[in-house]
Amino acid sequence: MLYRTLGRTGIKVSPYCLGAMMFGKMANADHDACTRIIHKALDFGINFVDTADRYSDGESETIVGRALKGRRDHVVLATKFTGPMGQDPNQQGASRRWIVKAVEGSLRRLGTDHIDLYQVHRMPADTDVEEILSTLTDLMRAGKIRAFGTSTVPASDIVEAQHVAERRGLARFRTEQPPYSILNRAIEREVLPTCQRYGMGVMAWSPLAKGMLTGKYRKGERTPDSLRARVFPKAMSDESSLDAVEQLIPLAESVDMSLMHMALAFVVSHPALTAAIIGPRTEEQLDGLLSGATVRLSDDVLNRIDEIVPPGVDVAPLEGAAYAPPAISNSLLRRRNLDERAAA
């Protein structure tokens, strides 16, 4: 396994990061089976594991924590916060009040005294970035976390956070976790260059475009009955995505590899990328993913991919999973109130 440096933290991680979203009641409730998946990944050489407190309401963290007993010191452990963890409106978000409580919950479920990478799952619009940075800096100084980062934020927020950290003498975000795949390349325009400018590590989620790049979803064929298809019905039947897939499959076959392996190799070939997050639900899926770990793409193949899906373009819909800025998600920010419109 050839390890990479996580941004400028000095931490060495594998180019595949084991994502734990599928562990727990949401997808695989068999704790023993999930543990076997984790152990097999570690035995292969993966030393990077990513989860979140909200995955199966904390069950994923519990599974990961139990599986890492006796092996914790050899794993770079990442988790995330901000998602709702109860009915109370203050059991979510990124206020100092919640972050301090959320990290204790994650530490307890993970069975560890520190988290290597603690990430803001989604940047809330109602919390000042200085509040977030100061709290995370305090947690780092207390030894509860080693570094912190973000997930799925626009380049403008990354720049603002870096400037605030510098002005206030706070620790800064060291990583970003965006969606990135052959079918979702919009972050190549601004997010990836911005991360490179600030020396941030980048871990891509959904490198297989929610499964569209596994080769199971084909144009003119019935959509397989899968968890992804049930959760993201529009994405898994999107015509533009299927058109691209039908062009990508023969390209992969022409260089004697599967579409899935070509898709993963594409993601980790970008110089800004530290790791691709793989999220297997079963051991069989993990085996399939790992079998392509040594695949490398030539410039000719990368050029052909650029012709099918141009750089900086999103072909596949992210269907609610990507960042939506407040000006888009909140209609009140786009409309004058009735009194103002009447007076205009």
Average pLDDT for 67-87? 97
User: What digits encode the pLDDT tens for the residues 196-224?
Assistant: 999 999 999 999 999 999 988 887 777 77
What would the two tokens of residue 162 be?
């870096």
pLDDT confidence bin for 145, thresholds 50/70/90: very high
Q: What is the pLDDT of residue 130?
A: 98
What's the mean pLDDT in 171-200?
A: 97
pLDDT of residue 222: 77
The pLDDT of residue 342 is above 60: no
Report the mean per-residue pLDDT for the chain. Answer: 93
Share of the chain above pLDDT 90, in %: 83
| pLDDT higher than threshold 90 for residue 187 | yes
Which pTM was predicted?
0.92
Q: Please tell me the total count of domains within the chain.
A: 1
Q: How do residues 235-272 score in pLDDT, each as one tens digit?
A: 667 889 999 999 999 999 999 999 999 999 999 999 99
Top-confidence residue, 343 or 219: 219
**In terms of Cα–Cα distance, which of 295, 303, 278 is closest to 40?**
278
Give tens-digit pLDDT for 276-325.
Answer: 999 999 999 999 999 999 999 999 999 999 999 999 999 988 766 667 77
CATH classification of the domain holding 156: 3.20.20.100
pLDDT at 341 over 60: no
Q: What is the pLDDT of residue 204?
A: 98
Looking at the predicted structure, is the pLDDT value of residue 338 above 60?
A: no
**How do residues 83-121 score in pLDDT, each as one tens digit?**
999 999 999 999 999 999 999 999 999 999 999 999 999
What percent of the chain lies above the pLDDT cut of 70? 93
The pLDDT of residue 39 is 98
Which residues are annotated as catalytic? Answer: 55
Strands 175-177 and 145-151: parallel
- Per-residue pLDDT, 213: 96
Full residue range of the structural domain in which residue 264 is found: 4-343
Assess whether pLDDT exceeds 70 at residue 343. Answer: no
Average pLDDT over residues 36-62: 98
- pLDDT at site 228: 66
What's the confidence (pLDDT) of residue 331?
82
pLDDT at 230 over 70: no
